[in-house]
Amino acid sequence: MVSRRLEPGKLVIASHNPGKVREIADLLKPHGMEVVSAGELGLPEPEETGTTFAENALIKARAGTKGSGLVALADDSGLCVDALEGAPGVYTADWAEARAHEGGPGRDWYMAMGKVEGKLAEQGPDTDRSAHFACTLALAWPDGHSEVFEGRVAGHLTWPPRGTLGFGYDPVFVPNGHSRTFAEIDPDKKHAISHRADAFAKLIAAVF
């Protein structure tokens, strides 16, 4: 199916995460897009009630276009572990949610990585440690049209965590063809091979 073209102009990034907004704005600038974020426009953050990355990305993109009248771009991402039937998946960030008595509220990535490792350990020493990061991008137009692009990077999980670069589950993820974790790989190199890069390459090829 042929994708709808994205005409140069103003686009809203349906995210309240300044790091994500900056990264996406840089990727879109060469294509004549002027970017504004949902945070800057004061748009409310919708509840992510979907059960797939695509559903959640579409919820965010549709809320962005509804609140701004502009074309909106949103992403949703996470870690999927084969032996855990794709978990934590869309609940990747939730697995890091620290409860009040654990020093939270807030996100504790070490705890989240430990939870994944604990569930793998329950399956014995020979369990399959394959995993992938997934990133889904959704574009929504004010007239109701939408486009979805899915990217991924495959690898395996290592333990204990290694490296101080990156964020989230990077210290336990070793991409295929590499021996270092995402948290030990130079960020520019990670950005070139990541699930987000894969999804963006597909979006750019389709809509520009």
Residues that bind ligand IMP (CB under 6 A): 75-79, 92-93, 133, 166-170, 182, 194
Rounded to the nearest whole angstrom, what is the least distance from the CB of residue 22 to ligand IMP in the complex?
14
**Closer residue to ligand IMP, CB minimum distance, 4 or 117:** 117
**Closer residue to ligand IMP, CB minimum distance, 65 or 77:** 77
Residue whose tokens read 């020493």 = 125
CA–CA separation, 89 and 78 (whole Å): 5
CA–CA separation, 35 and 164 (whole Å): 30
Q: Are 173 and 78 in contact (CB under 8 A)?
A: no
CA–CA separation, 194 and 189 (whole Å): 9
Query: Closest Cα to residue 168, out of 202, 204, 135?
Result: 135
Residue nearest to ligand IMP (CB): 168
**Closer residue to ligand IMP, CB minimum distance, 2 or 107:** 107
Active site residue 76: yes
Rounded to the nearest whole angstrom, what is the least distance from the CB of residue 79 to ligand IMP in the complex?
6
State the catalytic residues. 76
